[in-house]
Every structure is written in C-alpha cells, then in structure tokens.
Amino acid sequence: MTKKIKVRFAPSPTGDLHVGNIRTALFDWAYARHTGGTFLFRIEDTDTTRVTDEYIQAAIDTLKWLGLNWDEGPEVGGENGPYLQSQRLGIYAEWAQKFLDQRDAYHCYCSADELEAVREAQRAANVAPGYNGHCRDLTPDQIAAYKGQGRLPVVRMRMPDGGTTFNDLIRGDVSFDHKFVPDFVLVRGDGSPLYTLAVAVDDVLMKVTHVLRGEDLLSSTPRQIRVYQAMGLALEDYPVFAHLPFVMGQDNAKLSKRNGEVSIAWYRDKGFLPEAICNYLALLGWSPGDNRENVTMKELTELFTVEKVHSSPARFDMKKLEAINGDKIRALTIDEFLDWSLPFLTKAGVVSGSADEIALVKLALPLIQERIIMLSEVPAMLKFLFVKNFAVEADSLAKITDDASKQVLERSLKELEPLATWTHESIEAALRSSLIEEMGLKPRIAFGAVRIATTGSTISPPLFESMELLGKEASLARIRAGLEL
RNA sequence: GGCCCCGUCGUCUAGCGGCCUAGGACUCUGGCUUCUCAAGCCAGCUACGCGGGUUCGAAUCCCGUCGGGGCUACCA
C-alpha cells in the first residue's frame, strides 16, 4: 500500500512572508490538495535572534488570507504537534544526545576565531572550504583541557566518507561528494538546535512524505539525509525532495524590497485578490501544459503536478499580475465585488457604510468593474457620487472654462431641466439630439464638458449612467456650478 | 576559488527527434469600436546563449564553452 502523502510548508519568519515564500506555500498546498494528502504548516523559529512573534502571526494571517488552509499546524493543531520548533526543544536535545551516544556526532570545541582562521587558510590554499575535522577524535585529556578553558562545545555531525545521491522530483538525480559536505553543526554552544537538526527531525517525526522547498536549500539536502540515517530511518521512509526554482526580481536579482514589492501585505492593501496572486504565482515555474492561464484555486488543485514544475528560475512581472487581477475582478459577482470594495471605500472615507450608500455603491459597481485592475482604484472612481463638497479637479478646470464649454453646459442645462424621467437613456437622448445633432459638436468634446462638470474629472465611469446615479438635482446643480467657474 | 543548479520572444511559458517557416499569455506598437478611461476585437514586432558532435532529420540527445543563480555560518 502507498503512504498517504503529507506535504509541509515550513517558513522561518524572519520578516514578512514574501512572494517567493508564498509561491512555495502555494505549490505545497496545491500538491497536497491534488493528491488528497495532508498539508502541514510548521514554523521554523530556531533562530531566535531573527524570528519574532509578530512575523509568526503575520505568516499565519497571510496564509489564511490567501486561502491556503492547512490540516496540521498552528491554530488547528494535529497529532504531531507542537508546530512551533521553539516548543520542541526537548525533542531536538534528545536526538542530539542520541547521535552523540552513537558517535554519529561529536562535541567540537573550536572557537569562532579558530574556525575563521581555518577557512581563511583554505581559501588561500584554494581548497574546498569547510570544517577540517579538528575535534573529531579528541582524547579525554584534550577535552578536559578545553573544558578547563571554559569553552562551550557545539554538537557536530560526522559526515562519513563517500557521497549522497538523491532523486529530486524536479531536477532528477543530484549527487554530492562528502569531500564538499563538511561536518556540520547541529546544536549551538548554548544548547539550542540549528535548522539542520530541527528540520530533519521534524520532517521524520511529523511523517512528512514530500519536501517541496526553495532551491536555496538544495545543497543542504545531503546534511538532512545524513540526519535521517543517524535517526535510523529506513530508506523507503525518507521524504522525497523537490526543489522549486527561485522567483526573482525584474532585474534578475533575488527578490527584495528594492526591486518590486515583496510583502503580501502590500498587495492586499493595493487591492489584489488572493486568487489573482495565487493564479499568477502558480504560473511562475509551472504551467498546466495547455494554453490556459486563468485558473481558479479549485482548478489549480486539480491540475497541479510536480512533474510540470520547471527547473529554471522565473522573473516576477507586476504587469502580468495586474492583468490577471483585472481578469479576476471582472469575473466577480456584484455581491463579491461589493464585499471586496467596501473596505477600500470606507478606509478612503468615501462612504461611512450606511445602507443607502451601500445600495448606491452596488448600483455603481457594474460601471467600473471592467475599468479597474486593483480594488484600490474603486474610491477614486466612485468618489463623485458621495462627495459632500463637490469640486472639479484642478487639472481639469481649464477644460470647462472656455466659451465652447460654457455653451455646452448652458444648452445641457436647458435640455435636462424639463426632463420628466431621469434615466441614462433619457439623458443620453436629450444631450445627443441637442449637443451633437443640433449644435453639431463632436461627442468627445460635448460630453467631455458635461463629464467634467458632473464628475469633476476627465476620466469617469460612463457619463449617462453616472448622471443617472448622481440624480437629477445634483447633476443640474453641478452643471450650474460649472457655469460659474 | 570550490561544489551544486539553471539557460526558448523584453517577461511568464508550450515544446520532451520530424506536426516548428517555433504556439499561447503579459508588455509594447498600429488599427477597429467608442461619451472619457477601460474592456473587447484585429494586426505587428521580438526567442531556441555559443561551438562541436550523434542522426536521413535537433529547440528537443551528448560533449564543451559562455552566461546567470545558489551554497560554501554556532542563518534558513
């Protein structure tokens, strides 16, 4: 029988989760869902100097917001917890001791300065850098001497001669000669565990079957496998590895704050939909194989396979993300669009949230749904419907103070005032027959002036629909005010 | 420097020996439509890093080379 697949996402929250992390999380999640397996979320907070509680909480919130729900991990629990490594210190200490007892690991008393000196010498001699095995076989006398100096030893894993070959699901067989994989540290001098120990122990204890992670971890894989050996894990129980290609910035450098926004919080504030972010990120290093690009989360779980994941890195392209976000916004129902837009409208102070306002927003939303690419554009588009002290935008002012515009506004007023029914059809009919047909004006000129007067800007939702929603009274008042400018 | 990974339009990708005079998407350019802005539709620009092989035939396989990236911590 085959084991049930379990995939884990295990970030080290030393900052806000960035798009690279999220892409990894997305693939982990999609693979787990595709295979009907378990998605496990673990926090790797062994580096206490860099990880903070805020970042941990932010990571949890981000995953939730994106809809990458997990089956085991923080908040939801599970039978293999706890899921914060800082709460599992005793477990790591036990295993480290076991490795020591088995002589798979040993105490190393070398100081930071001594290690640095060794590395420098290796660099100068042009040989492979790495620990030179100085403390591998210390005599009791030497150990006593070091202890006498008050040195605190680290626990170091002994790498046997030979090499490690493993099959990476994305890259095929990858081999490392142990000549280039020096003995590595498992436990710090202060007794705290390192990533190298914790990650391997947890993956085994939590019964993880598939490790899909960033390719920066590729060369640490032989060390992880070495820990499995020391733990006595049967070969067939080793997790399977798949190293995902990087997501890079526009300038081909590693993604950072400097080249493109990387924090998911930024995208949320800009008004990107989670589904758009996931859809776009899924396309970075993966494709369904056919020509489709717009996929829902559900379709993603159906289509995703590791075999389709690329081995080469991808550049992050904001323009493409925006295009996809626009598509996703257009695909929203009006009620969904309303739910997403309201927070942006209230935050911008355009509406306070009354039932009347919401009703009007709901009527206006269809007018702008195909005109925006981000939700943060909604307030500016609908502001004219709600603003108390209406004023024409400064840079549009000059375009309605000329004589031609005045004539347009005067005539508009005259035609609209007697209108009995105020609908976009009646408004359009009245203005077209008078301004276009009788006055012989070009539509863009004539309607442009009316647009500026009533919406305050040269850019607005469709004019006649906008005026209908604005109402007769307010529309005429604004045209009259425009005449006074 | 050493080890490892990677290399198709500007970008993301399809392609797994003949269907490729290399397809799609985003961007860009031009056009249509049009009350602005969008959306939509049509058209166009632009790619197999380079050099050797293998083969009747290579973007696809092999070797080399160049280029990019990662690792080389008591970070992850």
A154-198 confidence digits (pLDDT tens): 999 999 999 999 999 999 999 999 999 999 999 999 999 999 999
Distance CA A40, CA A80 (A): 10
Name residue A176's beta-bridge partners: A164
The total of other beta-carbon atoms located within 10 Å of residue A451's CB is 23
CA proximity to A226, closest of A204, A242, A248, A193: A204
Name residue A175's beta-bridge partners: A165
The total of other beta-carbon atoms located within 10 Å of residue A64's CB is 13
* Alpha-carbon torsion angle A198, A202, A203, A208, nearest 10: -160
**Is the model's pLDDT at A400 over the cut of 70?**
yes
Find which nucleotide's C1' atom is closest to A175's CA. Answer: B4
A28-65 confidence digits (pLDDT tens): 999 999 999 999 999 999 999 999 999 999 999 999 99
Q: Return the percentage of chain A with pLDDT > 70, whole number.
A: 97
Give the pLDDT mean for A391-410: 89
Q: CB of A310 under 7 A from strand B?
A: yes
The total of other beta-carbon atoms located within 10 Å of residue A291's CB is 6
Quote the pTM value.
0.94
Contacts 24+ apart (CB under 8 A), A80-83: A80/A40, A80/A205, A80/A206, A80/A207, A83/A40, A83/A41, A83/A42, A83/A43
Q: CB of A169 under 7 A from strand B?
A: no
Give the pLDDT mean for A273-301: 94
Strand B bases, protein C-beta under 7 A: 1-8, 10-15, 23-27, 34-40, 68-76
Q: CB of A317 under 7 A from strand B?
A: yes
The answer to whether A202 and A173 are in contact (CB under 8 A) is no
Q: CB of A217 under 7 A from strand B?
A: yes
Distance CA A46, CA A87 (A): 10
Instruction: For residue A75, report the phi and psi dihedrals to the nearest 5 degrees.
Output: 75, -40
A341-352 confidence digits (pLDDT tens): 999 999 999 999
Q: Cis peptide before A82, with omega less than 30 degrees from 0?
A: yes
User: What domains are there in chain A, each with its CATH number?
Assistant: 1-74+245-331 (3.40.50.620), 88-244 (3.40.50.620), 332-389 (1.10.8), 394-484 (1.10.10.350)
Find which nucleotide's C1' atom is closest to A48's CA. Answer: B75
> In the predicted model, what is the mean pLDDT of chain A?
93
Give the pLDDT mean for A89-105: 97
User: Judging by DSSP bridges, how do beta strands A184-187 and A154-157 pair with one another?
Assistant: antiparallel
Q: Return the percentage of chain A with pLDDT > 90, whole number.
A: 84
Strand B near-CB residues (< 7 Å), A 176-195: 176-177, 180, 184-185, 188-190, 194-195
Which of A45-54, A285-294, A360-369 is most confident? A360-369
Find which nucleotide's C1' atom is closest to A111's CA. Answer: B74
Query: What amino acid is encoded at A56 in this protein?
Result: I
Query: What amino acid is encoded at A43 in this protein?
Result: I
The more confidently predicted of residues A250 and A293 is A293
Query: What amino acid is encoded at A112 in this protein?
Result: A
Spanning CA of A53 to C1' of B36, the rounded length in angstroms is 49
Secondary structure of residue A244 in the 3-state scheme = strand
**Is the model's pLDDT at A448 over the cut of 90?**
yes
This complex has an ipTM of 0.95
**Is the model's pLDDT at A3 over the cut of 80?**
no
Catalytic annotation, pick one of A257, A347, A414, A442: A257
Half-sphere exposure of A370 (CA within 13 A, CB side): 2
Residue A251's pLDDT band (boundaries 50, 70, 90)?
Answer: low
**Is the model's pLDDT at A1 over the cut of 60?**
no
Annotated catalytic residue A257: yes
Q: Give pLDDT, residue A468.
A: 97
Spanning CA of A465 to C1' of B34, the rounded length in angstroms is 16
**Is the model's pLDDT at A18 over the cut of 70?**
yes
Residue A255's pLDDT band (boundaries 50, 70, 90)?
Answer: low
**Is the model's pLDDT at A239 over the cut of 90?**
yes
Q: Give pLDDT, residue A81.
A: 83
Distance CA A457, CA A405 (A): 14
Which residues in A231-341 belong to E strands, given as ranges? 240-244, 247-248, 314-315
